[in-house]
A = this chain, B = another copy of it.
Amino acid sequence: MAEGVNIKRLAQELNISIATVSKALNDSYEISLKTKNRVWTLAKELNYTPNPAASNLRSHKTKTIAVVIPCVANNFFSLSIKGIEEIARQYGYHVLIYQTHENIKMEIEFTNSLLSGRVDGILTSVSSSEHNSEYYKTLVKKVPLVFFDRVYEDLEAVKITTDDYDIAFEATEHLIKCGCKRIAYLYGLENLPAGKARFNAYQDALKAHNIALDDELVIRYHEDEDVNFESVKQLLKAVKPDALFSSIEEFIIPSYLACKELNLNVPSAVKILSFSNMDTAKILNPSLTTITQPAFEIGREAAKCLFKILNKKELEERSIVLKSILIKRESTNI
């Protein structure tokens, strides 16, 4: 009473045509309520479940969306997925996950493999390593696609992002108000609008407060975490900043470790502030002042947009910007 029960079987059992059963199951207006009920009850009784492959083959609908992201083991993205999944479930959709590991080749390879009708739409946050805007320029014409958080700026597509510039400006000002004069910047996502916006905000905030920029105070993210640790340590030793402003979560551990190793007290000797979705920020010692992006909501919004597109609903906005929040904690205490 489970195997081999298909639409044909239902039709035979009820002495009606296959077409009628199919239409009844899809609640078509062409079918009377009476027969619909007969079909529905038998379907439930025999525990009928439609064959997705057959349905997809004929109708070109997969009831599946794909999420292409750099890495699931990252607080921001795992929270985003949680949000995406919640919305997908509401629409009865399935969610495929692909990790690019910041590798643009994989990113393109995966995305291409989805183009043969495996999914109805794609949610993606591009890798930070390299750009290929030509690829995406043609891609967005082929498949419903929503970018979230990490986007291409020159691309006209649906994008969900956060107020990176504003919040980074606010954060920099916060450090300045805490008395910091030599604020180091730990630069991540250099190739992406988000990364650039954060850095620009940092620079603009310094200028606005008449603080000279200093290239020595800027270090860049390296994929090898040991390298990051060394460069933070070197920065602290050689350039002696009074604050670390990290634009990405990945610099937090090396920063704390480096300060510990160099016996630099946080926050009295050096203050730390970072973009982060770590739930442990509040129990670090000192607890960490963070810019926290609404990762869960970004996932939800991105998914909602995609479903609007899939359902041919009009989008009010092709670009949605959500607000991040600055959570002040001990690491920036005066």
Shortest Cβ distance from residue A4 to the other chain B in the assembled complex, whole angstroms: 12
Query: Cβ of A155: which chain B residues have Cβ within 8 Å of it?
Result: none
Separation of A252 and B257 alpha carbons in the complex (Å): 20
- Please determine whether A73 and B62 come into contact, CB atoms closer than 8 angstroms: no
| Interface segment, one of A109-117, A160-168, A310-318 | A109-117
- Copies of the chain in the assembly: 2
Which residues in window 47-102 of A have CB below 8 A to B? 49-54, 56-57, 62, 64, 71-75, 78-79, 81-82, 85, 94-99
Contacts A53-B54, A71-B82, A85-B99 supplied; 11 other A-B pairs, CB < 8 Å: A53-B57, A53-B62, A72-B81, A73-B78, A73-B79, A94-B98, A97-B97, A257-B282, A283-B284, A284-B285, A285-B285
Chain B residue nearest to A49 (CB atoms) is B116
Chain B residue nearest to A50 (CB atoms) is B116
Checking B49, B62, B118, B260 against A115 with a beta-carbon cut-off of 8 angstroms, the contacting residue is B49
- Please determine whether B278 and A253 come into contact, CB atoms closer than 8 angstroms: no
Separation of A82 and B73 alpha carbons in the complex (Å): 7
Which residues in window 241-278 of A have CB below 8 A to B? 252-253, 256-257, 260, 278
- Given A257-B282, A280-B252, A280-B278, A97 contacting B81 (CB threshold 8 A): yes
Checking B62, B78, B115, B142 against A78 with a beta-carbon cut-off of 8 angstroms, the contacting residue is B78
Interface residues in A, total, Cβ within 8 A = 47
